[in-house]
Amino acid sequence: MLEVPKPIMKETPSVAGKAQDQVVGKARRPVTARMLSLVLAVAIGAGVGAWAVFLRPIEVHVAAPARDVPVQVFGLGTVEARVTSRIGFKVSGVLIDLRADVGNRIAKGAVLARLDDREQSAQVARANATVQLADANLQRASASVEKAQANYANAKSINERRQMLLKGNSTSIEAAQTAQAAQDAALADVSLAQSDVLVAKANIGDAEAQRQLQSTILEFYTLAAPYDAMVTARLKELGSALGAGEPVFTLIDPKTVWALAYVDESKAGEITVGEPAEIVLRSQPGRRIAGHVARIQPESDRVNEERRVEIAFDTLPADLYLGEQVEAHITTVRLPQALLAPEAAITGLGNNQGTVWTVEGGYLEQRNVTLGHRLLDGRFEITGGVPEHALVVTTLRSGLRVGRAAKVAEGSSR
């Protein structure tokens, strides 16, 4: 059988359907408007951002020329004394008197300690007696000379008479010869007595030398300060039995206290004797004490590659402690005027050269510059390469670009 096709029926929208379509259309139109507004806002923001990044003048900090700039070298060290002495007795003995202690300041010649000197005092007394004995012997010898001279004068007188009588045959030859022999013997006695005087004088000299020796040894039993000093250590106590030369005290000369600083060899080449310095004690970090370079030791520390620099205090502080750590700032030169830039603002740093940003006529430029001294705070002296009236940027930031407009931040000059 043949199927008869059904007729196609055209659907007519109902009233309710038309109303729904109208509602959906009205809802789509606000969404489209919002999208257009969002796109427009993004475009405007991108334009503003591009202007801020590429067109708006960038604010930078710049350096101003500085005046009277000290170029300093830094060193670490300790407080030391150039004159330090460990003193003791030259003789052995028992310590019976101590008159100084750590921290005492003593004058030259002041007694510090004594040993038991009774035995040596007896030796001095014996030497005095020996001198007196020698003096008595000298007096006796001198009296013997006078006696011998008197005997000689008498013998000579008798001999002269005997010789005259012999010529007149008034006496025998034997008597004349006896008188002559007596005169010769008396003369010999005079010579002998005079020799005894010389011996007695020599004995006196020896006795006095022995007395001087014993008296000097007695002085060794007393220990005195060799100079105006301060006691930094007392090594023995009362009753100690000491050997000869054993130290009892450690002394320093306060006038020779200075700072011994260790300076890196790479920085020490410009240091010379007499240059001013500032010393900072670790116990007083806020106080800078004036000094000057007194001596540069000829031998460096081979291990740490440091040079030893001795810095004297211009005015010696009263409250110094040996061995305390110090910081030394040695001024090697003063720059009357200098253009300075921080190390962080210099790129390609090396061989006293680098590259800096500058502001020239309101626009950014980059310049290759030559560098001089480096300060302790990390700034470098710019000695060349910056055009006249150009300003050196001291703080690098994002957005720096050659040719970009720039303005100087207020209060940025250093």
Q: Contact, 294 vs 314, CB < 8 A?
A: no
Residues whose CB falls within 8 Å of the CB of residue 372, separated by 6 or more in sequence, listed in order: 338, 352, 380, 381, 382, 383
Nearest to 256 by CA among 78, 108, 83: 83
**Please, is 6 exposed, middle or buried when counting C-beta atoms within 10 Å of its C-beta (0-12, 13-18, 19+)?**
exposed
In the prediction, which pLDDT does 24 show?
A: 47
Helical H segments across 67-172, by residue range: 118-167
In tens digits, the chain (414 residues) has pLDDT values of: 344 444 444 444 554 455 455 544 555 555 566 676 676 666 666 555 555 555 689 999 999 899 999 999 999 999 999 999 999 999 999 999 999 999 999 999 999 999 999 999 999 999 999 999 999 988 888 888 888 888 888 888 887 787 787 777 777 778 778 878 888 888 888 888 888 889 988 999 999 999 999 999 999 999 999 999 999 999 999 999 999 999 999 999 999 999 999 999 998 988 999 999 999 999 999 999 999 999 999 999 899 999 999 999 999 888 889 999 999 999 999 999 999 999 999 999 989 999 999 999 999 999 999 999 999 999 999 999 999 889 999 999 999 999 999 999 886 654
58-67+336-408, what's its fold? 2.40.420
Three-state DSSP class for 358?
strand
In the prediction, which pLDDT does 197 show?
A: 86
406: β partners: 58
pTM above 0.75, yes or no: no
In the prediction, which pLDDT does 8 show?
A: 46
Measured torsion, CA atoms of residues 344, 350, 352, 357, in degrees rounded to the nearest 10 = -40
Three-state DSSP class for 55?
helix
CATH architecture, domain defined by 90-116+222-252: Beta Barrel (2.40)
Three-state DSSP class for 94?
strand
Residues in the chain: 414
Residues whose CB falls within 8 Å of the CB of residue 299, separated by 6 or more in sequence, listed in order: 308
How is the chain split into domains, by residue range? 58-67+336-408, 73-81+253-334, 90-116+222-252, 118-219
Write out the DSSP string of 289-332: EEEEEEEE-SS-BTTTTEEEEEEEESS--SS--TT-EEEEEEEE
- Select from 2.60.40.10, 3.90.550.10, 1.10.468.10, 2.40.30.170 the CATH code of 73-81+253-334: 2.40.30.170
